[in-house]
Amino acid sequence: MAIERFPIEAGHVLMFARAIGDPNPIYADADVAAASEVGVIPAPPTFVTASAQFDPDYPLRPKIGEPWFGSGREATGAKPTVPSGGGGGDGDGGGGTSLHAEQHYEYHRPLVVGDVLHARGRKGDTWEKQGRSGTLKFTELVTEYLDQDDEVVITARTVAVLTEGPK
C-alpha cells in the first residue's frame, strides 16, 4: 500500500465530522479554528482512515468499468481478497472472512487542513489464537503518514483478524 498524495481539505473534514456525528464547530468554521490553539481547522483523530479515498488500489471502492462484489441485479459479484487495512482503512473484507480487530494511532503533531500527506505501509506481526469456531489469524499493518516536509505526522497500526465467517 502506498498513497502518494492525500491532501487534507476543509470540505472532506466537514463531511467526515458530520459522518461521525461530531458537531464541534472547529471542524466546520474556519473562524472558530482560527481562534483555537492550532489556528487552522484540525482533522478528527481517525481522519487518516479516509486516505482510502486517495489509494488508487483500495479494494473496498468500486472502480469505474470494473466488476464490484456488492449487489446489483444479483446479490453478488466477485469477492475481493482483502484484508486491506490499507490506508488505515477498515480491514473487513467481503464474505465475513476478515474483520477489523484493533486500530491505534500515534499523533506526532496535529493534522490540519492544508497538510498534504503521503503514506507508506508495512506488514507488522502475525499471530494466531484459538477461537470458538476455529483458528483466528491476526495480521498487523503499520502505516506512516508523512507531510509535505517528509516528517511523520501520524503512525497507524491496524490489526485485522481472519475468521471463518458468520455461518
Partner 1 sequence: MSVSAASLNVGDTRELELVDDLTRTQIVMYAGASGDYNPLHSDEKFAREVAGYPGIFAHGMLTMGMTGRIVTDWFEVARVTKYGVRFVRQVWPGDTLTATATVDALREEGGVHFADVSIATVNQDGTTFLTGSATARLDP
104 touching partner 1, by CB under 8 A:
yes
Q: Is 90 helix (H, G, I), strand (E, B) or coil?
A: coil
Q: Do 140 and 91 meet the contact criterion of CB atoms below 8 Å apart? A: no
CA–CA gap between residue 104 and residue 46 (Å, rounded): 9
- Choices 52-60, 121-129, 137-145; region in contact with partner 1 by CB under 8 A: 52-60
Q: State the nearest-atom distance from the C-beta of 123 to partner 1, in Å.
A: 19
Q: Which residue has the cell 478528527?
A: 44
Strands 134-146, 116-131: pairing is antiparallel
Q: State the nearest-atom distance from the C-beta of 105 to partner 1, in Å.
A: 5
Applying the rule CB under 8 A, the residues between 133 and 162 that interact with partner 1 are 157
For residue 118, give the nearest of 3, 12, 9, 8 by alpha carbon.
Answer: 3
Q: State the nearest-atom distance from the C-beta of 147 to partner 1, in Å.
A: 15
By beta-carbon proximity to partner 1, the closer residue of 36 and 148 is 36
Q: Is 68 helix (H, G, I), strand (E, B) or coil?
A: coil
Q: Is 53 helix (H, G, I), strand (E, B) or coil?
A: helix
By beta-carbon proximity to partner 1, the closer residue of 16 and 124 is 16
Which residues of the chain form contacts with partner 1 (CB under 8 A)?
12, 15-16, 18-22, 24, 26, 36-38, 42-46, 49-53, 55, 58, 60-62, 68-71, 75-76, 87, 89-90, 92-96, 99-107, 110, 157, 165-167
